[in-house]
Amino acid sequence: MTTLALNNVRPYGEDVTNILIDVADGVIDSIGENPFDDADEVMDCGGNVLLPGLVDMHVHLREPGREDTETIATGSDAAAKGGFTAVFTMANTSPVIDQPFLAEAVWAKGQEYGKCDVYPVGSISQGLKGEQLTEIGLMSRSGVRMFSDDGKCVNDPQLMRRAIEYAKAHDVVLAQHAEDHRMTEGSVAHEGEQAARLGLRGWPRVAEESIVARDAIMTRDYGGRYHLCHASTEGTVELLRFAKNQGIDVTAEVTPHHLMLTDEKLDTYDGLFRVNPPLREARDAEALKQALLDGTVDVVATDHAPHGSEDKCVEFENAKPGMLGLETSLAVVHRIFVEPGLADWRFVAKVMSERPAEILRLKDQGRPINVGEPANLVLVDPQSPWTAHGDEMASKASNTPYEGIEFSARVVGTWLRGTQTYDAKKA
């Protein structure tokens, strides 16, 4: 097969058109009013929405080291099912991705599997110990575009300053997990009325916000590109808005679960809802929604974090933090923003594809749906009700916080450079 016709599609949810893909070259060949019925393969897309393939700046695929919970292959399957054509997998594996050969191995394995471009994130400090910087220059020459100790915060201000200076010199992004560990020791839930009522150790907003403020000032003074992982508080939004108004090169992400869920979910003490940073209060979720709408927060990133049942089906305090996200994120964003009319599909494309690719300077991901652009695409049926169940996920794990929740938007097809990586009809 050399050509594929996607007839009767609505790019960005707008006017119906027809798209011809040159599969051999992996690009969009033509867009026109007349169906391409003479293509090698013709698909009637039923007027469904076509978007650029999604890009996730923040996932945990667990390989190497915890292949019992996720692998590059199963994570790629989950990504394709969720509409993603590129993901960035964090460095907190075993061993930690702190050497060029480890980063190169992750990239090569993802390319060999071929379902999704899996970009390795390099650690900021060796072994995630927060003591000595990794070889940021060498790793950047191996193709690493982003560095993060995610799972841990770079608490040492002097080490963070040096990281910012090195990252600037090599034009790579530093992604910070903002958490002052001195304020969160033993904490498992947002510090508020709910945690107090349930007898859970509280996690204050200031633990996040103090690091955000410090790092914004450092980025102002020493330059570079700084990205905030999983923003979770109203105060963080205010700090980001201040930083951007000052012209500081700061970007930020929000997770689907911090947009949709609050600490009210903790009533059952279910370990599925243990996450870092914790689920906050309704006013935090509302502030994050508005910040995403007005651009103060730039992107949606899943923080996809698979865990086995032995790590989740335990006392809440002992549950490992993290939730699945790749297969539900588009449905969550649709439910929060598109269904109530707060935003359109172009907004979805911006925060889940175009802006992440722009921040990470990807040349063939997050591109507009135009002739000559890479055929990295996702087809979405906005009126196809389905219910989230962990045991039906493509991920190796099943720890979804949306168990039993019904969504209306479903990914029905994903293409990576013209090759279909997910087909709902065959799933």
Q: 295-325: buried (b, 16+ CB within 10 Å) or exposed (e) per residue?
A: ebbbbbbbbbbbbbeebbeeebeebbbbbbb
Residues in the chain: 427
In angstroms, the CA 417 to CA 53 distance is: 10
Alpha-carbon span 348 to 173, nearest angstrom: 23
| 200 in a labelled binding site | no
318 is in an annotated binding site: no
Residue 326 phi, psi dihedral angles, 5° rounding:
-60, -40
Residue 92 marked in a binding site: yes
322 a known binding residue? yes
Q: What does R_g of the chain's alpha carbons equal in angstroms?
A: 21
First to last CA, the chain: 22
Q: Is 276 annotated as a binding residue?
A: yes
Burial class (CB in 10 A: 0-12, 13-18, 19+), 219: buried
**Which amino acid, one-letter code, is at 165?**
E
Is 356 annotated as belonging to a binding site?
no
**221 is annotated as an active-site residue:** no
Is 18 labelled a binding residue? no
62 is in an annotated binding site: yes
Q: Which of 29, 215, 303, 311 is catalytic?
A: 303
Which strand (E) or helix (H) includes residue 338? none
Beta-carbon contacts of residue 63 (< 8 Å; ≥ 6 apart): 70, 71, 72, 75, 93, 106, 109
Q: Is 307 annotated as a binding residue?
A: yes
Cβ atoms of 56 and 115 within 8 Å: the answer is no
Task: Please report, in range form, the residues annotated as the binding site for Zn(2+).
Answer: 58, 60, 150, 177, 230, 303
Which residues are annotated as part of the binding site? 58, 60-62, 92, 150, 177, 230, 276, 303, 307, 321-322
> Which amino acids are annotated catalytic?
303
Q: Could you tell me which residues are annotated as the binding site for substrate? A: 60-62, 92, 276, 307, 321-322
